[in-house]
Amino acid sequence: MFKRLFKATLLAFSLICMSSVDAQTYAGPKALGPYQIDKGFLNKTLFDILGKPKITSGKGVFCYQSADGVYLWVSEMAHESKFVGDILLSSFPNCVHSPVQVTSEIIREWKTKERIGLGSAKKDVLSRYGKPSRDDMVKGNDYRWIVDGDYHDGHSSSKPMPERGEEVLVYTGKDTLDTAEFGLRNGMVTWILLSENE
């Protein structure tokens, strides 16, 4: 009896330790379309695909729209401006105060290596990446920053609240800047952020 109890206690302790280690490891995607984190991805490489921006916002953010109405903003890495730090892909209008450049690239088709993209179901995100580091419900001004130019320095635009979805699955790691966020509306992915920025 004691031996069985000891084994059960040991097994429970091992499972707790394993889940603690898993919570510290980044489990999200490493790529979205051609962009890859942890590779030192150059802005120029992305501009070769999307088209060189004719006008910039002056704050290191570049906005694109594909002909099918999908938006993408790209921001430079902090302290390393020649590298991409973040990209955000959205199925709704973005970049409210920044010039938007139309690209011939069909960015709606950009997916992670695990085939998650705009329109993917929440259950598929969870199936590919497991339990998120956080599962946020969007309230008030939460996540208003995803619409570039809409929300800065604690002040929101006078425009109506932008589309942000209702829930966000966030994947981070303890000792890494790598971050992935999946914005969900009606259980489907409506925006994706992939970042290795500060």
- Residue 134, C-beta contacts closer than 8 angstroms, at least 6 positions apart: 168, 169, 170, 172
- Residue 157, C-beta contacts closer than 8 angstroms, at least 6 positions apart: 96, 97, 149, 150, 151
CB atoms under 10 Å from CB of 51, counted, come to 15
Handedness of CA 62, 92, 190, 184 (dihedral sign): positive
Q: What pLDDT sits at residue 181? A: 97
> Left, alpha or beta for 79 (phi > 0: left; psi -120 to 50: alpha)?
left
Q: Is the residue at 5 inside a domain? A: no
Q: Is the residue at 112 inside a domain? A: yes
What are the tens digits of pLDDT across the range 115-148?
Answer: 999 999 999 999 999 999 999 999 988 898 888 8
Q: What pLDDT sits at residue 6? A: 40
Distance (Å, whole) CA 148 – CA 179: 18
Q: Is the residue at 8 inside a domain? A: no
Ranked by mean pLDDT, which of 4-8, 28-32, 52-56, 72-76 comes out on top?
A: 28-32
C-alpha neighbours within 13 Å on the C-beta side of residue 112 = 24
CB atoms under 10 Å from CB of 112, counted, come to 21
Please give the average per-residue pLDDT across 103-109, as a whole number: 94
Q: Is the residue at 17 inside a domain? A: no
Three-state DSSP at 84 gives strand
Q: Report residue 16's pLDDT band, with 50, 70 and 90 as the boundaries.
A: very low
Q: Report residue 97's pLDDT band, with 50, 70 and 90 as the boundaries.
A: confident
The tokens describing 107, both together, are 């960015």
Q: Report residue 56's pLDDT band, with 50, 70 and 90 as the boundaries.
A: low
Give me the phi and psi of 184, to 5 degrees please.
Answer: -115, 140
**105 pLDDT more than 90:** yes
Q: Report residue 78's pLDDT band, with 50, 70 and 90 as the boundaries.
A: confident
**What is the residue-averaged pLDDT of the chain?**
83
Q: What pLDDT sits at residue 126? A: 98
Q: Is the residue at 11 inside a domain? A: no
| Cβ atoms 83, 43 nearer than 8 A | yes
- How buried is 151 (Cβ within 10 angstroms: 0-12 exposed, 13-18 middle, 19+ buried)? middle
Please give the average per-residue pLDDT across 78-102, as a whole number: 87
Please give the average per-residue pLDDT across 149-161, as a whole number: 58
| Cβ atoms 112, 31 nearer than 8 A | yes
Domain that holds residue 76: 26-195
> Number of folded domains in the chain?
1
Least confident of 17-21, 164-168, 173-177: 17-21
Q: Is the residue at 7 inside a domain? A: no
Q: Is the residue at 185 inside a domain? A: yes
Q: Is the residue at 13 inside a domain? A: no
